[in-house]
Amino acid sequence: MRAADPHHIADAFLDMPLVDLHDHSCGVVDDIELAEIEPGIWELAAILVGPGAWRRRRPRWLTALLPKLKAVRIAKADIASATQVVRLMRPAAEVGLATTERRLLALMGGR
Partner 1 sequence: MKPLELTLGILTAVGGFVDISELVFVSQAGARFGYALIWVIVLATVGIIVFGEMSGRIAAVSRQPMFTIIRKELGLTLGGVTLIGGLVSTLVTCAAEIGGVALVLQLLTGGSYLLLAALATTVFAASIWLLPFKWIERSYGLLGLVMLVFAAALLALDPPWSHIAAGLVPRVPAGLSQQDMLVYGYFVVALISAIMFPYELYFYSSGGVEDAWSKADLSTNRVTSIVGMSLGALMAIVLLCLAAQELGPRGISPEQVGAVVLQPGLAFGKLGVILGLLGILTAVAGAAIETCLANAYAVSQFFGWRWGRHRPPQDTPLFTLAWLVVFALALALVCTGVEVTDLADYAVVLSIVVLPLSFLPLLLAGNDPVLMRDQVNGPWSRRLGWLFYGLVVLAAVAAVPLYLLTLGGKL
Q: Which of 4, 64, 65, 107 forms a contact with partner 1 (CB under 8 A)?
A: 107
Amino acid found at 107: L
C-beta separation of 39 from 48 below 8 A: no
Alpha-carbon distance 30 to 15, whole Å? 6
Q: Is 60 in the site for partner 1 (CB under 8 A)?
A: no
Q: Is 61 in the site for partner 1 (CB under 8 A)?
A: no
Total Cβ atoms within 10 A of residue 100: 7
Q: How many residues bind partner 1 (CB under 8 A)?
A: 26
Q: Which of 4, 35, 57, 68 forms a contact with partner 1 (CB under 8 A)?
A: 57
C-beta separation of 33 from 75 below 8 A: no
Q: Is 59 in the site for partner 1 (CB under 8 A)?
A: yes
Q: Which of 1, 28, 34, 71 forms a contact with partner 1 (CB under 8 A)?
A: 28
Nearer to partner 1, 23 or 38 (CB): 23
C-beta separation of 34 from 11 below 8 A: no
Encode burial over 11-25: b for 16+ CB neighbours within 10 A, e otherwise.
ebbeebebbbbeebe
Instruction: Name residues contacting partner 1, limited to 68-97 (CB under 8 A).
Output: 84
Which residues are near partner 1 by CB under 8 A? Answer: 14-18, 24-28, 30, 54, 57-59, 84, 98, 100-101, 104-105, 107-111
